[in-house]
Amino acid sequence: MVSLKPPVIDGHIDTALQILREPRKFAERSKFGHCDLPRMKDANVQAALFAIESGYTMESLITSIDIWFKLVSNPENQLFQIKKIDDFNRARDSEHIGALLHFEGVSGMDDELKLLRIGYQLGLRSMGLTWSNVNKFATGVRVTTKRQRKTGITDLGRKLVREAQTLGVTIDVSHLNDTSFWDLYEITEKPIIATHSNVRSVSNHIRNLTNEQIKAIHEKHGTIGINFCMKFLDPEHPYEEYTNLGLDVIKKHIDHIVNLADINTVALGSDFDGTSVPNCVRDCTKLPNLWEYLLENGYSEQDINKITHENLLRVFKETW
Ligand SMILES: [Zn+2]
């Protein structure tokens, strides 16, 4: 078997907050969770969007930011904060892992957007408007009423998107409901990304993207990060069978995006440390198996480089 270890930029990991809930340290190899420093180095993960939840209040958002900086500023963790494109090279050359501050939802953001501007100064470079819920900016996928399904991005949300894109913060559509998605499609002036979402016509889950949405992201020169969450890969299986899902199921989602859009639209957003994943990608050290599988099944090394890092890097260059 070939050994393929392209540099990886993972578009979504929840390690920053998740690691607090488990008895492990980021600097040490653990059998718990999906990512830590030694395992990320094994897989040649050179950078990742380390997501934090916002919670519902400014206080909770600030607490999450504080936890994020405790992780990233601890020298033993060998993390390097990425704030500009050049930093990806600096992280690689320093043998540190690049960490991007990503807000997964901004429910705790204030109406005047002070925390957006302060966040940007602190290195915020990517954010979603909601973590599946309804907030004052947008409506997420987890809505119960018909009326909520029709609500999208509010006036305040539009202001937030405009100001964020002017500053140079990439906007993430994962977790938005369909109405918010299409509102964003109309107002965005930059490429948009789905940091961690799959294909709804392959796997009929509300967190996955419709064919029209995939085409729209492609049209805006954005990317879709393939998510390893078992429910998003294949919701048809009973839970106990999930763990045995194979790399072929992951490839089905990639194939579909390539057929509908192109290879420039596919990225990685593993959702490691934020969800349950099948054994074939049971932690980040298994990533090279996926690249090898793709190489053996119709994808070139150049294609794989696009998926693992080049596409996401292109979007950051266009949006920052
Ligand atoms: Zn998520």
- The pLDDT of residue 253 is 97
What value does the mean pLDDT take over residues 65-87? Answer: 97
What value does the mean pLDDT take over residues 216-220? Answer: 98
Q: Say how many domains are in the chain.
A: 1
Q: How confident is the model at residue 291 (pLDDT cuts 50, 70, 90)?
A: very high
Looking at every residue in the chain, the average pLDDT score rounds to 94
What value does the mean pLDDT take over residues 43-71? Answer: 95
Q: 206 C-alpha to center of ligand 1: Å?
A: 12
Residue 72 forms part of a structural domain: yes
Residue 3 forms part of a structural domain: no
- The pLDDT of residue 94 is 86
**DSSP secondary structure code for residue 176 in this structure:** B
Residue 281 forms part of a structural domain: yes
What value does the mean pLDDT take over residues 75-83? Answer: 97
Which of 207, 205, 183 minimizes the C-alpha distance to 194? 207
Q: 203 C-alpha to center of ligand 1: Å?
A: 17
Q: 96 C-alpha to center of ligand 1: Å?
A: 25
Per-residue pLDDT of 116-166, as tens digits, reads: 999 999 999 999 999 988 999 999 998 777 777 788 999 999 999 999 999
Q: Which of 80-84, 252-256, 274-278 is predicted least confidently?
A: 274-278
| Gap between the Cα atoms of 266 and 287, Å rounded | 15
Phi/psi of residue 98, nearest 5 degrees? -75, 135
CATH code assigned at 153: 3.20.20.140
| Distance from the Cα of residue 163 to its chain's centroid | 21
Q: 68 C-alpha to center of ligand 1: Å?
A: 17
Residue 2 forms part of a structural domain: no
Q: Which structural domain, as residue segments, surrounds residue 163? A: 8-319
- The pLDDT of residue 240 is 58
What value does the mean pLDDT take over residues 219-229? Answer: 97
CB 247 within 8 A of CB 295: no
